[in-house]
Amino acid sequence: MSALTDLEIGETAILVALDLPDSVQNFLMHMGFVPDAVVTALRRAPAGDPTVYGIDGMEIALRRETAEAIRIKRLANSGASDPLNRKAEQIRELAEAIR
């Protein structure tokens, strides 16, 4: 398990847990940051913080200190350049996780 901040731009992972105060955790969960959600690092600000993440069809910018408290499980080959291959790999990983 690693932190959300460990994702490189274009990498995808499965969200495992949020180690945040209840008020922040509840806010993020309402926006889709729930266990087993697929999250992708989309882009970073020029200074490196915040980072924009894609989750449940939304783009959400998180500061490093918040993203460090979000635990993820990396998907194999999530940095693949072809978006269709990346999506297919996500689906395979999710199907295996459900079994």
Name the residue range of residue 19's domain: 2-98
Mention every residue, 6+ apart, whose C-beta is less than 8 A from residue 86. 10, 12, 77, 78, 79, 80
Please provide residue 57's backbone torsions phi and psi, each rounded to the nearest 5 degrees: 80, 5
pLDDT (tens place) for every residue of the chain, 99 residues total: 899 999 999 899 999 999 999 999 999 999 999 999 999 999 999 988 999 999 988 899 999 999 999 999 987 654 545 565 566 567 667 766 775
Mention every residue, 6+ apart, whose C-beta is less than 8 A from residue 14. 36, 37, 38, 39, 72, 73, 75, 93, 94, 97
Say which CATH number the domain at 87 has.
2.30.30.90
44, two tokens: 């970073």
Q: How many domains does the chain have?
A: 1
pTM: 0.73
Widest pairwise Cα distance in the chain: 41
